[in-house]
Structures are given as C-alpha cells and as structure tokens.
Chains A and B, each alone.
Chain A
Amino acid sequence: MSNLANPTGLSGATTPPPPPPQNPNLVSLTINGKRLTVPKGTLLVEAAKMAGSEIPVFCYHPKLKPVGACRMCLVEIEKNPRLQTACTTPVSEGMVANSVSPNAISGQNAVIEMLLANHPLDCPICDKGGECPLQDNTFKYGQGVSRMQEDKRAKDKAFALSDRIVLDKERCIMCYRCTRFQSEIVGDQALVALDRGGESEIGTQNGESFESPFSGNTIELCPVGALTSRFYRFRSRPWDLKRTPSVCSGCSMGCNTSLHARDGAILRMVARENPGIDDGWLCDKGRFQTLPPVTALGQVTAAEAKQNRPLQPLLRKHGSLQPTTLELALQRTVELLRGYTAVLASPTLTNEAMLALETGLRPMAQQSQFGFLPYVHTPWLLQGKIANLPFAKKIVLLGFDPWTELPVLALWLRKAAQNGGNLVAVGQHNGLFRDSAAWLSVPQDRVGDTTAELLAALTTGKASAPVREAAMKLTCDGPAVLLLHPDLAADASLLFLAQQLAQQLGANGDTGMLGAPALAANARGAQELAPTIASATVSSHGLTGILLLGIDHLVPQSGAKLAVATSRAIEPRSDVEVVLPMLHPYETAGTYTNFTGQRQALLAGGFVGRNVPSDQQLISHLRTALTHRHAGAR
C-alpha cells in the first residue's frame, strides 16, 4: 500500500492494491486490527462501535453534530502524523485506525489529565457520581494519578440557571453538548458558551433565566455533574435507585420514560429512547411536573404528611377532614351521588380504568352525569404515524401550537422543517416561529377566516398578499401534515374547512398526519374506550354533589358537595366532604393510548403502601357501594 501513496514510485515493495469495493456506498477499513465494511460517511467513532471496540467520548453524541471539543476520542490513523479525533473523522477506503496503540493511549491519558486539571473531583457530593462518563472514562482510560500541583480554578458552585436547572461551573468540561442541543435540536439557543479559554463557561445570553421547554434534557446530556436538576439534587445516589420503564403522563405524546425511585418514592424521571415516539427527548412539563409528591415510606413526618397527598380516606366530621375507614368514606361518597350529581374523571386514568368507568360504574349511577375534565372528545380523530413527520414537506398548523401543547411533537416538526419541509402556522401562538416558512398570526377566533382564505389562495389564488405568500409555500410536492387544535375542531364549519384543506394538500395517514390531536395524557384512550363519557357535556348548574376522580385541582366552588379521589395534596376547602386516596399514574400498572392511537404499557414505578387502592379497585368499590344502595332502596 505504501508504494501507491509514494509519488516517486521508487519503492521496491510490490503490495497489490486492495480490491476495489463492490458497492461505491460502502467503505472497508481496519479498526484495532479488525477489518470491517461500513456505509460511506460513517464517523470513525461509530465504525469502532460496529467493530466492537469502544472509543471514549465526552462531546460526541449520536444525535448532535460532531465538534471535536473534548479531544477524548483520539485515535492513531496510519499515514497521519498526529492523533486524530474519531468523532470528526469520516471513514475512508483502506483506513487503518488504532485506539489501543501506545500513542493513542498516551493521548487519552493526557486528555483525561488535562480535563481533570480543573475538575473539582467532588464526586462524593456530586449527583452524577456513579453514572458519570468522566468517572468511567477516568477509570478506563486515565492513568490513575495526577501530576498537577497547582490550585484548581475556582468558580460558582451552585449557580441557578433557572428554577429547574443548577449549574456547577467548576465541574464543566466545556463539551458543548448542552449548547449544541439547544441550538441544533431545539433551535432556541437558550444556552451559549460565554468568554474564551480558561474563562470560558456555559451561561445564558445577558444572564437571563434558562427558559426552554426542553431544558431538562441538558441534565441527561451533560457528561459530568455540571448541569443538575433542582428537584433531584442530592436526593439519592444512582446505585440506590430502582428503575422502572413507564410512559409520561404529561400529555398525549406518550414519551417513553424510566422512573427512578428510592424506597418507593419516585425521585426523577428520565428519557427512555423510543425512535418512533420521542427520539430520546422529554419536555420539562413531563419531566418535572408530572411526578407524584414524594412520600418516602418511613420518612413522612407529621408536618410533611399534612402538606403531602392523602394516604388514607378522610371524612368531614365536626367541620374538619378526619381519617376514616374506606367503607365509611365510600358510603358517604354514594350518599353524595344521590340526586342531581356529576362524576368528573381525569383523562390521565389508564385505559383499564376508563373501561371500568364506562362499563362498570356508569350503568350503576344513571342519575349522575359523567364527563371528563378537561373535555377530551375530538370530532376528527388523528391519522398518521410520528415516524412520517421528519419526511413531511408541507406542514399546516391551525390554531395549534405544539411547542406548548405537545412539546416533543414540536421537535419532530422542527426536524421536518430542517429537512426542507415548509411549515405554515395559523394562530395566535407559534413556538416554532424560528422554523416556520410562514406564520399567519391571527387571534384564535379568526383562525377559521384565515383557513378559508388559505384554502381559497390554494384553489383560486384570490387572497391577501401574506396568505398568498404562505399558500405558495404549500404548493410543493411531498407528504403533508395538517393539525387542528381540538378546541377549534368543535366548530363544525372550521372542521369542514380544515378537512377540505387537508384534502387539497393531499394529506393522508400513510405518508403524513392529519386530524385534531387529543391533548391530555390518555385522552385518545378515553375517547376510544369510554366514548359515552368522553362525548358527554356536563352542565355544572345546580349540582348537589360532584365526585372528582384523579383530578389534580378542585372545581370552582358552586354549592355542590365534593367527593375527591386524588393522588395529590388537596386544599381542605369547606365543600370537600370525602377524600379518597388514589394511586398516581406512575404508581399503577396499565396502558395509555397516545394521540396517534399507539398503546403503551406503564409499570408501577413507586409504592405508597397497601392501603391505597388502584384506580380499578376504587371504581369497583364504588360500583359495589352503589349496587348496595340500589338494593337497599328496593
């Protein structure tokens, strides 16, 4: 081989040239003595994974563009005078790379030593300790001792970037994973690198708060303990956590998660990559706001228990809520359900509970009105798969802002826009404004008119200039996506216009996506399994009793007595008569249907004691109590 590279051709060696590759899109190379063939353009670090040898990395992440910032992935490549970074080097034909040669190892040792020169090594108090790539790589690829005698750099230790994220500037190794995530995946550049050289640090522009709906992902991306969660801070060590696969209950996206619990108390939730649903990301709403209040067994003091959720039935006696037995609480609930009453359920119940509600409880309490809070029925069920989204070329959002409603869906739509898709948003809010081809900013009640104008622009060309311009973006070929806000879909004329527009764009469920997505966690499951309850509208006027099932907050005071089944702390308002303890969705087993109709299983990730019935048990108890009431009446 060497004589081929020699332009003089005077070398005496006669090595035959390697056989030409059969497929021009494939490249064969040698990594650590192993020959393999990989697709053209593969990065060396990925090729090494295929060859079964690991190259240590910090800044490299498969979903982010390579930068070669940390220099950890140094490898020796034949005919290259210096070590090269495997994360920025694409493979080439006949390449011979070595990550275990003495040269490469000394490079890895040096990089670790330099990264640790200013790293505080406060692993005992660091939340990342035990799951830290810097710890792991130091053990595997470091030399075990430091020659540094100088003082380490002193910087802010617990700098609050926002009310959710804490930054330790000393621990940061400047890999730029967080800033790259914010600029490449989210696109809002909420985190940036400030200053230069040794003074360089991660921060926000103008020192403002780090506000992004996806900021929690940077905690998981950080390869050291520099970015930590305010809520999980110092709560546990990774080896003490029991990890349970589950599904997020924040919205109907159905992002896959892993629940991490210590002593039965769920302390944090992290992403569990499902390439067809969440692509490995979670939004902050799901990650931080859906966890049950912490009730570690044996750790609840009297004061904590008061603030926390009820773990036993409570009954109003002498003007205050007092602990009671489940039988008495159920009896009082059934009494409250006499007369003109309503049962309001949360759409975050599991499919199993939905079915029990529809076929078990509803026929037993026919005088009561049943409904979901919030209202979940959508007249235009969504068709299409999330996997279609990155290839969509025409995207129309009618009054629907996925950035706030279904944040992870916004990342998929952004991916489509990055792939050359044209996004046209109609409505008051548009979090994807940076990636929109056009944004017709109108109040929500004018969305119908603008939709009609857009349809007219596409068919007859008669419309105002901005709408015509937006319509121009939608004349290309390719898969189309049209999403309508479910609240607007209740308006029949707008629904008809939206369906016409979808037809005009050629949107279909096989290649794109169309419909009015259900927004609450299991709203689609509610509509499919409890159709009568989902489509019913409850009139709150003149009710004498209301049963709230799994709803986080109380309904406004209306004179009706309330029976509340909840997994959250409740306000002890004077109209609350009974409180029934309930399991949080993350503590119960069941299934959720996401907004595209895909069913996924939840497993119980936390444990709060045997006294709290599951949703189905509670509904079944209520049914039994109601049956007895009817029997007694006869």
Chain B
Amino acid sequence: MIEDLKALLAGFFTTLRHMGRKKITLMYPEQKRQPAAKFKGRHQLHKYDNGLERCIGCHLCAAACPSQAIYVGAEENDPKAPISFGERYAKHFEINMIRCIFCGFCEEACPVEAIRLGPEYELSDYQRHAFVYTKDMLLDPEKHAPRRQFHADVEQHRGPIGGKPEGEAAVSGAPKGHCDTPTGARTPRKQDL
C-alpha cells in the first residue's frame, strides 16, 4: 500500500516537474516551426540576377531521381532572346510531388545549382493532378504556393507566402482550383476523396 502510494507520488512529481519546463510542442497549424537551413521541402528553380534561368534542361536531375518524379523536356534557345545561359533550356520541367521522396539527389545532380529544395512543407492538396508542379510553379514558389492558412506569428518570420493574404486564408494568384470560395479555402468534394 505504501509502495503504491510512493509510485503514485513519484508519477505526480514527474508531471509537476515538466509543467515548469519550456514547451517543445507547437500549436500547429496555428503556430509553425521555422525549418532548419538544410531542410528539404518544396523544390524551387532559381534564376540568375540578370533574369536568365539557371536550369539548362540537362535531364540530370531526372536521371538521378530514385522515384522518377521529374520530367524534363529541353529545347534550343533562341540566341536573340535566350531563356537560359547557353544553347539549351528546359521547355517543360515537372515534378510529381506525390512521387517525390525529398531525398535531394536532384540538387546534388544539378550542374548549375538551378534546383534547390526549399523550406515549405505544407504541400497537401485535394486533387492528384494538382501535385504535378510545372515549371512556372517551381520558378515562382511565392506566387504558385499551395493554399495555406495565414498566421501572423509565422508570417512575420518568413514573409507572406502566396502573396498578400485577404481575410483569413486567401492566397492571391494561386492556381485555379484553390480560389473556389471567397476565403480561398474550399471544402473537399466527393470526387476528390
């Protein structure tokens, strides 16, 4: 009986001790964690300062990808209005985010440091085809971000993602299908589930 009481008190004491410590859990999704610098999240395609795309359409990321998530279709640059540096550019560049395992082999394979895995990790969506990220979406992640809720505490750290928030959760400029309701949030339809 005494032994049981002792065990009970020890348990309560452990609880009491942890109540005084700093919390490590966050109230997600209201609060968001700042990812580490090396975090491997949503891919981004980068440009040079002069506006030329870094990507030269060499297919090496697609060759390195262990889950065959990347599709590249290259074409020849018009020398008068080049899109990338050199003779070749990627006309099509697509990543299937459902296939991607975020291993980062693509950034390692890239000879021109065009593709980088960024800090965004909220990539859920309602439709399969919405997970195929096209070149425009990858080049401008701010503009073409998946719909997400705006929270003042997080946004002040990393700036607004997906343009200026309107109301609670709107994202201006998001691709079609994310703007069905005035708030930008849309209830899943039966066909999506």
Contacts and interface: CB of A to CB of B under 8 A. Distances in A.
Interface of A: 122, 124-125, 129, 157-158, 233-237, 239-240, 299
Nearest to A124: B58
A299 B92 contact: yes
Nearest to B111: A124
A553 B87 CA distance: 35
Nearest to B60: A124
Contact of A237 (B63, B87, B92): B63
Most buried by B among A233, A234, A235: A234
B73 interface: yes
Given A124-B58, A124-B111, A299-B92, A235 B74 contact: yes
B187 to A, nearest CB: 30
A125 B86 contact: yes
A125 B92 contact: no
Contacts of B62: 240
B65 interface: no
A125 B60 contact: no
A299 B92 CA distance: 9
A125 B73 contact: no
Interface string B150-191: 000000000000000000000000000000000000000000
B63 A125 contact: no
B59 interface: yes
A122 B63 contact: no
Contacts of B136: none
B52 to A, nearest CB: 14
B75 interface: yes
Contacts of A157: 87
Given A122-B86, A125-B88, A157-B87, A233 B58 contact: no
Nearest to B73: A299
Contacts of A122: 86
B76 interface: yes
B106 interface: no
A233 to B, nearest CB: 6
A239 B87 contact: no
Contacts of B86: 122, 125
B122 to A, nearest CB: 28
- Interface residue tally of chain B, by bracket? 10 to 19
Interface string B62-102: 11000000000111100000000011100010000000000
A122 B112 CA distance: 11
Nearest to B79: A158
Contacts of B112: 124
14 contacts: A122-B86, A124-B56, A124-B60, A125-B56, A125-B57, A125-B86, A158-B76, A158-B87, A234-B76, A234-B87, A240-B59, A240-B62, A299-B73, A299-B92
Contacts of B58: 124-125, 129, 237
A233 B76 contact: yes
Nearest 4 A/B pairs, CB to CB: A124-B58, A125-B88, A234-B74, A237-B59
A240 B57 CA distance: 14
Contacts of A239: 63
A578 B73 CA distance: 34
B109 to A, nearest CB: 10
A234 B63 contact: no
Contacts of B63: 237, 239
A129 B88 CA distance: 13
Contacts of B56: 124-125
A234 B92 contact: no
A585 to B, nearest CB: 26
A592 to B, nearest CB: 32
Interface string B37-61: 0000000000000000000111110
Contacts of B88: 125, 234
Given A129-B58, A234-B87, 10 more contacts: A124-B56, A125-B57, A125-B58, A158-B76, A233-B76, A234-B88, A237-B63, A239-B63, A240-B59, A299-B73
B85 to A, nearest CB: 10
Nearest to B90: A234
Interface string B106-149: 00000110000000000000000000000000000000000000
Nearest to B75: A234
A125 B58 CA distance: 5
Nearest to A168: B87
A122 B63 CA distance: 17
Contact of B57 (A129, A234, A299): A234
A513 B22 CA distance: 96
A157 B86 CA distance: 10
Contacts of B76: 158, 233-234
Nearest to A262: B73
A234 B88 CA distance: 7
A122 B57 CA distance: 12
A41 B56 CA distance: 49
A235 B75 CA distance: 7
Contacts of A158: 76, 87
B113 to A, nearest CB: 12
Contacts of B92: 299
Contacts of B87: 125, 157-158, 234
A131 to B, nearest CB: 13
A442 to B, nearest CB: 47
A239 B59 CA distance: 10
A124 to B, nearest CB: 4
A484 B114 CA distance: 61
Nearest to B74: A234
A27 B73 CA distance: 53
Contacts of A129: 58
A482 B59 CA distance: 52
A299 B94 CA distance: 12
A538 B29 CA distance: 78
Contacts of A240: 59, 62
A124 B87 CA distance: 11
A235 B92 CA distance: 11
A215 B144 CA distance: 47
A237 B53 CA distance: 20
A299 B93 CA distance: 12
Contacts of A125: 56-58, 86-88
A234 B72 CA distance: 11
A614 B57 CA distance: 35
A584 B182 CA distance: 51
